[in-house]
């Protein structure tokens, strides 16, 4: 009887060991150092498919001649020919200058208006929550819709703006917007400001609500004024948000030709031509995807250089 019981116990132990084997292996894997790497493999595959592969493909395309309107040429390897062509392209210099103005003026103006709006809305007053939603409406509209709306509003014959200015006696006849090379870019920047300043407002409102109110209360007890509290508390606490929002907005301005495309198409002449718009027109009007890819690589390196310099200069990564 004893031997039979012992045999049964041994058999039960063996079965338990066989059953627990896979479970122990899974527990060991989860508790090991490589489990985190296994979890991010799906995300890495997705990033590689939608980010890394297109970037590499675009860089390689910039070394090839690829014209959709001349399929007999194929896609021969031409090395740095597009980049040499870029060095002598007169439009590039104009586009780079306009891009700098577009990005610098656009980001600074949107930053100032967005921060001012966020500070105004960061109050527990009646109706301010509704105002915050209304402020976001222009930003939520598609850029093409906004641009076409403003093109109608600023129309020289039927535009509401000219009608209002005429009734106020500020103009005697319909003013044709976007035709003066000296002011066209800034007129489009005004539309861009209306469209996208709420991007900063949204980020800054979230950052302001994350600042503990005790900081402001303690500063008030110490006798600090509103300006001093803004300088010593608000700006330092918002600095990570400022850096992140500014980088994202600069990238958005650099890479978004849609409003310029609808309102001016880069004109008059090349007065509103930017790198992104020039690349878009090169690809979809001239069908020269090889040269357009080279322009995209130029934009990529410009944005990478800006991001590195800006993050280091801001000091946001320092302890």
* Model pLDDT, residue 32: 62
Return the CATH number at 310: 1.10.3720.10
- My answer on whether 298 and 197 are in the same domain is yes
Tell me whether residue 37 is in a domain: no
For residues 210 and 282, state if they share a domain. Answer: yes
pLDDT digits (tens, 9 = 90+) for 178-193: 999 999 999 999 999 9
CA atoms of 299 and 224, how far apart (whole Å): 45
Residue 264 in domain:
yes
- What tokens were used for 39? 């979890």
Q: Are residues 196 and 286 in the same domain?
A: yes
Range of the domain at 5: 1-32
Q: Both 161 and 23 in a single domain?
A: no
- Cα–Cα distance, 278 to 267 (Å, whole number): 11
Number of C-beta neighbours around residue 83 at 10 A? 14
- Both tokens assigned to 132: 């915050």
Is residue 266 within 8 Å of 282, Cβ to Cβ?
no
Give domain status of residue 178, yes or no: yes
Contact 144, 257 (CB under 8 A): no
Q: Residues 182, 279: one domain?
A: yes
Q: Do 105 and 244 fall into the same domain?
A: yes
Please indicate, yes or no, if residue 195 is contained in any of the structural domains.
yes
Residues 280 and 190 in one domain: yes
Same domain, 233 and 97: yes
User: In this predicted structure, what is the pLDDT of residue 219?
Assistant: 84
Residue 130 falls inside a structural domain? yes
Please tell me the distance from the alpha carbon of residue 121 to that of residue 204, in angstroms, as a whole number: 10
Question: DSSP string of 273-284?
Answer: --HHHHHHHHHH
pLDDT digits (tens, 9 = 90+) for 240-293: 999 999 999 999 999 988 999 999 999 899 999 999 999 999 999 999 999 999
Spell out, as residue ranges, where the chain has pLDDT lower than 50. 10, 12, 16-17
Q: Please state the domain count of the chain.
A: 2
């Amino acid at each position: 009887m004893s031997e039979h019981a012992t045999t049964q116990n041994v058999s039960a132990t063996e079965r338990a060991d066989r059953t627990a084997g896979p479970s122990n292996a899974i527990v060991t894997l989860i508790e090991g150092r490589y489990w985190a790497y296994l979890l991010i493999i799906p995300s890495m595959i997705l990033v590689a498919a939608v980010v890394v592969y297109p970037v590499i493909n675009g860089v390689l395309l910039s070394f090839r001649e690829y014209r959709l309107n001349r399929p007999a040429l194929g896609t021969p390897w031409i090395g740095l020919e597009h980049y040499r062509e870029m060095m002598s392209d007169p439009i590039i210099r104009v586009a780079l200058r306009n891009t700098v103005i577009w990005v610098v003026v656009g980001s600074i103006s949107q930053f100032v208006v967005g921060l001012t709006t966020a500070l105004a809305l960061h109050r527990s007053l009646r109706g301010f929550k509704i105002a915050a939603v209304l402020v976001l409406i222009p930003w939520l509209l598609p850029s093409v819709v906004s641009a076409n709306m403003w093109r109608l509003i600023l129309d020289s014959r039927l535009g509401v703006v000219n009608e209002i200015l005429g009734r106020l006696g500020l103009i005697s006849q319909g003013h044709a917007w976007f035709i003066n090379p000296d002011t066209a870019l800034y007129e489009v920047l005004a539309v861009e400001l209306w469209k996208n300043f709420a991007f900063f407002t949204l980020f800054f409102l979230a950052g302001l609500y994350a600042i503990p109110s005790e900081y402001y209360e303690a500063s008030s007890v110490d006798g600090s004024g509103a300006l001093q509290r803004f300088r010593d508390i608000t700006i330092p606490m918002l600095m990570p948000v400022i850096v992140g929002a500014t980088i994202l907005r600069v990238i958005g301005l650099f890479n978004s030709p849609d409003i310029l495309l609808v309102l001016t198409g880069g004109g008059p002449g090349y007065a509103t031509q930017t790198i992104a718009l020039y690349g878009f027109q090169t690809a979809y009007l001239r069908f020269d995807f090889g040269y357009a890819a080279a322009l995209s690589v130029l934009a990529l390196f410009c944005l990478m250089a800006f991001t590195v310099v800006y993050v280091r200069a801001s000091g946001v990564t320092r302890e």
